[in-house]
């Protein structure tokens, strides 16, 4: 089965098979790294934890640790470069410097409001499908206020978000792009269809 579609593809475009080979190697490498990182239980907890710090997708996360006890204006000590300590991640600032950190990020004291709130917020976006296995993943989230990709995806980001290829992290957007939400291309492209059909 496999041989037959490869042969077919090779006949159509010999370059495609070479590219596929390269892609396959990368894909295997990615898979290995992901397995390496994936102590899956912890991943799940931290992933959910990160989302829970926001009122909705796009809201600034609240601060999950005491602040005033740490003294004033010291956010940068941990969040300038990013820091991992005893399994906890203090991500670097993903957005350019804007005024006071605490104009958007606020501490939470363990008290509950007297009045309940029934707001239902927007969920974090799901991962987007790749063009083919091994194709660079698309960026599923807004890039505004997230210009510094390495804050989350660099070596000091959350384990489940770290890039498998940290040496190539200077120009992330040359391979990973953000599809404009809700926009469909005017011309149908059959690549994905072919891919699905031959699988």
Partner 1 sequence: MAVTRREFLGSTLAATAAATASTSLLVSCAQQQEDLKRIDLSGVTWKKGVCRFCGTGCGVLVGVKDNRVVAVQGDPENPVNRGLLCVKGYHAPLILYGADRLTKPLIRRNGKLEPASWDEALDLIATRWKEIIEKHGPDAVAFYGSGQWTIEEGYAALKLMKACIGTNNIEANARLCMASAVMGFMTTFGSDEPMGCYDDFEKADVFVCWGNNSAEMHPVLFSRMTMARETRQGVRLVDIAPRRTRTSEVADLFVQIRPHTDLALANGIAYLLVHRGYIDREFIEKHVVFKRGKTDIGYGTEDGFKFKDQPERITFDEYVAFLDDYKPQRVAELCGVKVARIEELAQIYGDPATKVVSLWCMGVNQHVRGTWMNNLIYNLHLLTGKICKPGSNPLSLTGQPSACGTVREVGTLCNRLPADMLVTNPEHRKKAAEIWGIPEEKIPAKVGYHTVEMFRALDRGEIKSIWIQVTNPAQTLPNASRYIEAMKRPDTFIIVSDVYPTETTEVADVVLPSALWVEKTGLYGNTERRTQHWEKMVDPPGEAKPDVWQIVEVARRMGYGHMFDFGGKPLEEGLFEEYRKFTLGTGKDLAPYEVYKRVRGLRWPVVNGKETPYRYVEGYDPYVPKGAGISFYKNKKDGGRAVIWARPYEPPAEEPDEEYPFWLTTGRVLEHWHTGTMTRRVPQLYRAVPEAYCELHPDDARELQIATGDLVRVVSRRGSLQLRAKVGGRGTPQRGMVFIPFFDEEKLVNLLTLDAFCPISKEPDYKKCAVRVEKVG
Q: How far apart are CA 28 and CA 142, in angstroms?
A: 28
> Whose CA is closest to 159, among 38, 52, 68?
38
Answer whether 121's CB lies under 8 Å from 55's CB: yes
State the minimum distance, in angstroms, from the CB of residue 178 to partner 1: 14
Query: Using CA atoms, how far apart are residues 1 and 52, in angstroms rounded to an integer?
Result: 45
The nearer residue to partner 1, 15 or 116, going by C-beta atoms, is 116
Shortest CB 105 distance to partner 1, Å? 7
Cβ closest to partner 1, residue 97 vs residue 191: 97
Determine the Cα–Cα distance for residues 127 and 25; give it in Å rounded to an integer. 22
Smallest distance from partner 1 to CB 124, Å: 8
- CB of residue 188 to partner 1, shortest distance in Å: 21
- When the beta carbons of 36 and 181 are compared against partner 1, the nearer one is 181
SS3 11: helix
Q: Return residues touching partner 1 (CB under 8 A).
A: 45, 48-49, 51-53, 55-60, 62, 64-66, 68-69, 72-73, 88, 97-100, 102-113, 115-125, 142, 144-145, 181
């Amino acid at each position: 089965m496999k041989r037959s579609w490869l042969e077919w593809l090779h006949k159509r475009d010999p370059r495609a098979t070479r590219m596929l080979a390269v892609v396959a190697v990368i894909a295997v490498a990615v898979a290995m790294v992901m397995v390496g990182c994936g102590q899956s239980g912890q991943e799940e907890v931290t992933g959910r934890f990160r989302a829970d710090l926001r009122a909705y997708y796009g809201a600034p996360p609240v601060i999950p640790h005491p602040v005033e006890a740490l003294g004033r204006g010291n956010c940068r000590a941990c969040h300038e470069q990013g820091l991992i300590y005893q399994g906890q991640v203090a991500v670097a600032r993903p957005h350019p410097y804007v005024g006071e950190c605490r104009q958007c990020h606020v501490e939470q004291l363990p008290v509950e409001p007297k009045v309940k709130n029934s707001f239902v917020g927007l969920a974090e976006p799901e991962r987007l499908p790749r063009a083919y296995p091994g194709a660079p993943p698309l960026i599923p989230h807004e890039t505004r206020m997230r210009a510094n990709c390495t804050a989350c995806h660099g070596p000091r980001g959350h384990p489940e978000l770290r890039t498998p290829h940290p040496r190539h992290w200077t120009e992330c957007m040359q391979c990973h792009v953000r599809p404009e939400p809700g926009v469909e291309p005017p011309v149908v492209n059959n690549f994905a269809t072919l891919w699905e059909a031959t699988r």
